[in-house]
Amino acid sequence: MTARTLMIQGTASSAGKSIMVAALCRILKQDGYRVAPFKSQNMALNSFVTRGGGEIGRAQAVQAAAAGIEPSVEMNPVLLKPQADATSQVIVLGKAQSVADAADYYRDNHKLLPIIMHSLTKLRDQYDAVIIEGAGSPAEVNLMVRDIANMRIAELARAPVILVGDIDRGGVFASIVGTLQLLPMRQRNMIKGLVINKFRGDLSLLKPGLDFLEKRCRRPVLGVVPYIRDLAIAQEDSVYLDERTSRMREGFPDVCIIRLPHIANYDDFDPLETFCNVRYVASVEKLGDPDLVILPGTKSTMADVLFLNRSGLSARIIQMAEAGTPVFGMCGGYQMLGRKIYDPVQAESGITEADGLGLLDMETAFGPHKITAQVSARVDADSGLLMGMQGLDITGYEIHMGKCSKQPPHSVFTVTPPGNTSAGYRDGGISPTGRIFGSYIHGLFNNIEFTRRLVENLCSLRNLPPAEADALNQEKAYDDIASVFRQSLDMAKIYEIILGGWHGRRTV
């Protein structure tokens, strides 16, 4: 049986499409349906590696987890990862295909439609329902003719559309009405309902606005979703880092993550919030005196290490490290901890050489090939932040271009890819004191025993009281989000829209 479809589109980026798709996937799963997420084209720096080694948007991996299924490349057949020089790496069915600027990509992107529709068809053959996420806004008039992410996909999938507006940023009534007015009539008629997202305050005061929308747009408002603080599931857009407010809890370690211009996979550090106060900063002035500094992953290591050097952050981090402050680097951040970074083939940009922070005795060289793999590893190190952890098993994934051209003297992990019966290979590097280390492995902190022990060691090194973990249960987090949306939305009407398909009477 071919699955029913429903598409969630937004009046703008960060309107809440990804979270709503995750919530609906969970609700349908709770109600006994086999459901899968889908996003034809995603532009994001947060990504995930599937079991088969394919790279997809992190949001679709989260949505799949909410649906209780294994992520697959068909859930996000086209992923664009922006790079430093106004270009994007184009990833098709999980594999890096090319690097293109916007003009080149949009000239040829229609050639991707057969791949997109084959992926959607494959999902529809396997599930009862597919919840499709749009991208940005469907009313970008300059891009409509090149659209492969919004209304064209809805038409090809024969999917009814729910339009979501973000009231927290203001102008939600104008953005909803304007979106409808800018769409061609045939596409306008595919929008079957409206949702107001991120509302704070007294709902009764909003009612006149809801009445206006229903009268003006001749469509039902299907619900008003409250602003959800401290979302415990991964977010896709870096706008999330602007919106979030850290809970500063007395007695918890202060962890400072450098917000690089091209920061990627920042959800790697969400589990740390269970044990620590986590801050994101982009300047020396806001760095303060943290207990741990983290250099995160990045889509453009060369450009971001130059940012660190020019902003004064490199000099300050080096000064703090020499005074005993622990420093950790993940993936691109790990590369920055070394002495030199080389890009002779200009895989990332026109920059061929840059100085790292020199906190680890290593060098990195970029090549033309990208490594993407899920991995298992065992801790080799036994000092500083990793004291007492030797032999501990962890899992994660690698997703990077560069390799160490000069290996650090002391490794952090021995890695074995799934299905590999060889002895494995060394990953990461750690200083003699154990206070500075880095690794290519994403998802480290999802290994809760590893994270718990690391934070215990951090507290010991920084003379802090033992950290007490806040409760974290990912399955409960999905259920909690689903509960908020179930209470806020007219689910009976949404089921009616899904079952009714995209056909319906002309509404305007």
> How do residues 160-192 score in pLDDT, each as one tens digit?
999 999 998 888 999 999 999 999 999 999 999
310 and 387 fall within a common domain: yes
363-379 vs 340-342, strand pairing mode: parallel
**Residue 244 binned pLDDT confidence (cut-offs 50, 70, 90):** very low
Sign of the four-CA dihedral 270, 271, 272, 276:
positive
379 and 417 fall within a common domain: yes
Residue 465: the pLDDT is: 84
398 and 339 fall within a common domain: yes
More confident residue, 122 or 369: 122
Residue 201: the pLDDT is: 84
Residue 68 DSSP class? T
Domain-embedded: residue 472: no
Identify the CATH number of the domain in which residue 483 sits: 3.40.50.300
Identify the CATH number of the domain in which residue 287 sits: 3.40.50.880
Region of poorest pLDDT, from 238-247, 263-272, 291-300, 441-450: 238-247
Domain-embedded: residue 39: yes
- Cβ of 474: how many Cβ atoms within 10 Å? 16
> How do residues 386-435 score in pLDDT, each as one tens digit?
999 999 999 988 887 777 777 777 889 998 866 665 668 889 999 999 99
Find out whether 57 and 79 touch, Cβ atoms under 8 Å.
yes
Q: Count up the domains in the chain and report the number.
A: 2
297 and 227 fall within a common domain: no
258 and 333 fall within a common domain: yes
User: Could you tell me the pTM of the whole model?
Assistant: 0.76
Domain-embedded: residue 466: no
Residue 507: the pLDDT is: 39
Phi, psi of 149 (to 5 degrees): -130, -15
- Where are the strands (E) in 11-155, listed by range? 35-38, 41-43, 47-49, 55-57, 78-82, 87-92, 95-101, 129-133
| C-alpha–C-alpha distance, residues 300 and 303, integer Å | 6
261 and 328 fall within a common domain: yes
Per-residue DSSP letters for 413-473?
Answer: EEEE-TT--S--EEE-EE-TTSSEEEES-BTGGGSHHHHHHHHHHHHHHTT-PPP-PPP--
Domain-embedded: residue 505: no
Domain span including residue 293: 239-461
368 and 395 fall within a common domain: yes
Residues 6+ away with beta carbon under 8 Å from 336: 295, 301, 304, 305, 308, 329, 356, 357
292 and 330 fall within a common domain: yes
> What are the catalytic residues?
331, 442
Identity at 300, one-letter amino acid code: S
Domain-embedded: residue 168: yes
**Residue 268 binned pLDDT confidence (cut-offs 50, 70, 90):** confident
352 and 419 fall within a common domain: yes
Domain-embedded: residue 175: yes
187 and 318 fall within a common domain: no
Nearest Cα neighbor of 338 from 432, 441, 259, 429 is: 429
**Residue 367 binned pLDDT confidence (cut-offs 50, 70, 90):** confident
Residues of the chain above pLDDT 70, percent: 91
Domain-embedded: residue 467: no
Domain-embedded: residue 506: no
258 and 208 fall within a common domain: no
299 and 420 fall within a common domain: yes
